[in-house]
Structure 1
Amino acid sequence: MGKRVVLASAQREYVAKLAEYVREQEPEWDVAAFTYASALRMELQEGNRSVDLLIGEADLLREAGAAIDRARKVLALADGTMAAEEWASIDQYQPLPVLMTAIRTAIAGDRVASANECRIITVFSASGGTGKTTLALNMLRQAGERGLRTFYFNLEALNATSLLFGHGEPDSLSRLLYGLQAHPEQWDELFAATCRHQPYLRTDYIDAPDHPGERLALPSELLAEVLGRVRASGRYDLIVVDPDAGAGEWHRSLLGGSDQVVWLTTDDVQCLTKTDKLLRYWNASAEGLSDKLVFVMNKSQGQRSLNRWSLPGDGPAMSLPYVPQWKTVEQPGRLLGAPAFCGAVDELLEALGIRSRTPSAKRRKEADVRGPHRAFVRGAG
């Protein structure tokens, strides 16, 4: 007999769409949807079948009172501002495949990774050459130094990360995506077989394919499901996604499904103009992106900006310093050791709320060796 799942949301259109999607994905499940606490309470108290999973907005769950104890498992839908303290919770406004992954995970009895436990941060830019990958790798390394478990997902159609990671198995992503679609129940085995670890960066990753077609043909729904499953695995505290610059549907979907977006720009009129046009095209406010965006000015030389800031807000949240030595770097590993840039990335991690699990003596010693390196924060001298 299929599972019994009850959905509860005061938003009629939202809960109807979610219920329809769950029924399509799991035809054998018995799925019910409610928009009022009184009806939900009655169903839980008088229903003929036990409820395997109750998933709903925290306010409705609280209004239903003690009746929710009749459900075997409870998962709260958080609105992105505050997670419910009483239950495991997930962000309500995510792509349906991501929500479906969380529901399946909860049904299976595995630990559900909430937004507070594992965060997805995408490093993005509307223009190439802004330093996305360099920033992403530095964020991963320094998050690893803070004791966080991290996963790096490179989505660039053409990338050079093999110079740092090695060539590995270029068909890893293909095998993972095919396996996910053909045998979704074998996800854990598939992921374990394709996931690798980079000790210097202290991060897990999947080998990037040699052919750009693999990334260019990746559907938004499949990308969302992969990220959702990695997030729900409970193995990571932070996922850093590194896509190429672009205005495709999967780019917009990726940003919408991320917890935060570090949007890189430079003090260049073309880069600023492209960013402004892309935000207008996507209508960032209507898409719900505006609250997730953290604008960061890269390659700053510590001087007053030459171009007028035309993007949302009074200016970039902070700036990262220009490192002239990087123009002649032949070894990619050297992009991770510039003291001034490391100090600025530390401040960025703090601004994003990415803090140490436990301070270590090694971390404090390294900080002492580096010395104080102040980032070029807006408003600072």
Structure 2
Amino acid sequence: MNKVLLASSSLEYVEALLDFIQGSPYSAVFQVTAFSQPEAMSRYIEELTPTSTPDLVVAEESFIEKWNSSPFADKVSVLLLTEQFVSEESQTKIRKYQPLPAILAKWEEVLLSLSRRERGRFTSAQTWVIGVTSASGGCGKTTVALNLAKQLGRSGYSVFYLNLETMDSTGPFLHTSKSSIERQTESGGDLFSQLLYQLRANKVPNNSFHGEKNDRIDLNPYTVRNERIQADCFIPANNRKEMLQMSKSDTSELIRLITESGQYHFVIADPDSVWDLRSEAVMEESQLLVWLLSDDIHTMNKCKEWMKFHRQLDPEQHENRMRKTWHVINRYMGNMVNELPDEGMIAEHYLPYIPSWKQMREPDLLLNSPIYQKEMNKLCETIGALYRENTA
């Protein structure tokens, strides 16, 4: 049960929110102490003890000024209630008038994100690599990978989104283009190319150190934090030849560099759908593969032929991959028309078709569908991702 201090000068607003919580599943999530008078809140603050301190303060500006006099003010996160526009990514402000479920979802998000800041650094044994793949383009692979990263990030985990596509398709969704250009200009070159150069040089024996590896590469100069998906990622490469020239070994080394950095619970790897060496490395380095299918004859047949080819090529390797694979139907419309491509294959999860995505001008919609986020949360629960701390 999370303790929340709610303070607004509008008694009607406070009562409406409390009534909604009382009649919803959030009554088991939040224990709310509410005030509409600053004086009453001041008396409450005077009586606070370390054990009765709230986990979150949600208040208008005048009440926050009162809260700041509390001896516990620097230990509790605060959300400012405002009637102005607030970015969805903001962790310090919340729009006062919006659907009540959205308000409570934001409370939950902020509370869950607190644990990430408290967890510190992590060992490579705790890092899961989740590869999102498909045998056919157009299955929504990148949309699923981005939403998976966002769902895990919002749940309080440290996440790295690793885009291994030859042509980066995430720019419109992550708004990385402008910031990428600025960072590249400041550094005087393509940062991703520089990272690959360092990675390759690190594998070459250094005679002055009797063949030992060089010092571990620091990831921080090459990464950016993207609040839209609550994850870190590399600054996209400007030189596409670098992506085409990446070997299987390069890709594996890059994944291991991230997992062994001790900074992340999850790496979400998003390779091309077309089969290449980067995809091969993701298949091998992942602890879990989310394999996407869509209910159309072209996708099912292409997946069938791929599985047939790789089973004949290396039966043991194919079976090892299938053991860590979750087959997920994306854009599910309520019933299946086509048969799954392999005998004995089952679909472990279904992600819904979102009609509003068919034609849209705002790519942000792909990251902000409540229905899709709800199903992504179920997927994370199904694969055990939301219980990583209990099993790590």
Q: TM-score range by the shorter chain?
A: 0.5 to 0.7
Q: Is 1:294 aligned to residue 298 of structure 2?
A: no
Residues in 1 aligned to 2:151 and 2:163: alpha-carbon distance in whole angstroms: 18
Q: Is 1:311 aligned to residue 342 of structure 2?
A: yes
In structure 2, the partner of 1:159 is: 168
- Could you say what secondary structure the match of 1:204 adopts? strand
Contact preservation (8 Å) 1:147, 1:357: no
Question: Which whole-Å deviations, capped at 9, do the CAs of 1:218-246 have from their partners, x for residues lacking one?
Answer: 10011111111210111000000011112
Structure 1 residue runs of 5 or longer lacking an equivalent are 1-109, 359-381
Q: State the Cα distance separating 1:285 from its structure 2 match.
A: 4.7
Contact preservation (8 Å) 1:247, 1:278: no
In structure 2, the partner of 1:201 is: 229
In structure 2, the partner of 1:113 is: 124
Q: Is 1:130 aligned to residue 139 of structure 2?
A: yes
In structure 2, the partner of 1:139 is: 148
Q: Which contiguous aligned blocks of 4+ residues in structure 1 show a shift greater than 4 angstroms?
A: none
Residues in 2 aligned to 1:215 and 1:123: alpha-carbon distance in whole angstroms: 18
Normalised TM-score (structure 2):
0.59
Residues in 1 aligned to 2:282 and 2:197: alpha-carbon distance in whole angstroms: 20
Q: Which amino acid aligns with 1:192?
A: N
Tell me the C-alpha RMSD between the 2 structures. Answer: 2.1
Q: 1:312 to 1:264 in 2, by over 3 A?
A: farther
In structure 1, the partner of 2:301 is: 273
Residues in 2 aligned to 1:333 and 1:180: alpha-carbon distance in whole angstroms: 34
Counterpart among 214, 217, 223 of residue 188 in structure 1: 217
Larger Cα Rg: Structure 1 or Structure 2?
Answer: 2
- Could you say what secondary structure the match of 1:147 adopts? coil
- Could you say what secondary structure the match of 1:188 adopts? coil
- Could you say what secondary structure the match of 1:122 adopts? strand
Structure 2 residue runs of 5 or longer lacking an equivalent are 1-120, 185-189, 203-212
Residues in 1 aligned to 2:200 and 2:340: alpha-carbon distance in whole angstroms: 44
Contact preservation (8 Å) 1:180, 1:187: no
Q: Is 1:343 aligned to residue 374 of structure 2?
A: yes
- Could you say what secondary structure the match of 2:326 adopts? strand
Q: State the Cα distance separating 1:351 from its structure 2 match.
A: 1.2
Contact preservation (8 Å) 1:300, 1:319: yes
Residues in 2 aligned to 1:290 and 1:173: alpha-carbon distance in whole angstroms: 32
Q: State the Cα distance separating 1:279 from its structure 2 match.
A: 1.6
- Could you say what secondary structure the match of 1:313 adopts? coil
Q: Is 1:177 aligned to residue 196 of structure 2?
A: yes
Contact preservation (8 Å) 2:381, 2:387: no
Q: State the Cα distance separating 1:111 from its structure 2 match.
A: 7.1
Number of aligned residues: 245
Question: Which whole-Å deviations, capped at 9, do the CAs of 1:141-199 have from their partners, x for residues lacking one?
Answer: 1101111000001011112212223220562221101012225635433x211111012
Q: After alignment, is 290-299 or 307-316 more displaced?
A: 307-316
Q: State the Cα distance separating 1:112 from its structure 2 match.
A: 4.2
Contact preservation (8 Å) 2:164, 2:278: no
In structure 1, the partner of 2:360 is: 329
Contact preservation (8 Å) 1:146, 1:356: no
In structure 2, the partner of 1:83 is: none
Q: Which amino acid aligns with 1:291?
A: R
Residues in 2 aligned to 1:344 and 1:148: alpha-carbon distance in whole angstroms: 18
Residues in 1 aligned to 2:277 and 2:343: alpha-carbon distance in whole angstroms: 22
- Could you say what secondary structure the match of 1:289 adopts? helix
Residues in 2 aligned to 1:292 and 1:312: alpha-carbon distance in whole angstroms: 17
Q: Which amino acid aligns with 1:185?
A: N
In structure 2, the partner of 1:238 is: 266
Residues in 2 aligned to 1:336 and 1:131: alpha-carbon distance in whole angstroms: 12
Residues in 1 aligned to 2:386 and 2:370: alpha-carbon distance in whole angstroms: 19
Q: Which amino acid aligns with 2:200?
A: Q
Q: 1:331 to 1:174 in 2, by over 3 A?
A: same
Q: State the Cα distance separating 1:356 from its structure 2 match.
A: 5.8
- Could you say what secondary structure the match of 1:179 adopts? helix
Residues in 1 aligned to 2:130 and 2:255: alpha-carbon distance in whole angstroms: 11
Question: Which whole-Å deviations, capped at 9, do the CAs of 1:81-140 have from their partners, x for residues lacking one?
Answer: xxxxxxxxxxxxxxxxxxxxxxxxxxxxx97411xx110001001111111111111111
Q: Is 1:149 aligned to residue 142 of structure 2?
A: no
Q: 1:132 to 1:277 in 2, by over 3 A?
A: same
Residues in 1 aligned to 2:278 and 2:305: alpha-carbon distance in whole angstroms: 18
Residues in 1 aligned to 2:215 and 2:343: alpha-carbon distance in whole angstroms: 44
- Could you say what secondary structure the match of 1:355 adopts? helix
Q: 1:343 to 1:209 in 2, by over 3 A?
A: same
Q: State the Cα distance separating 1:312 from its structure 2 match.
A: 5.1
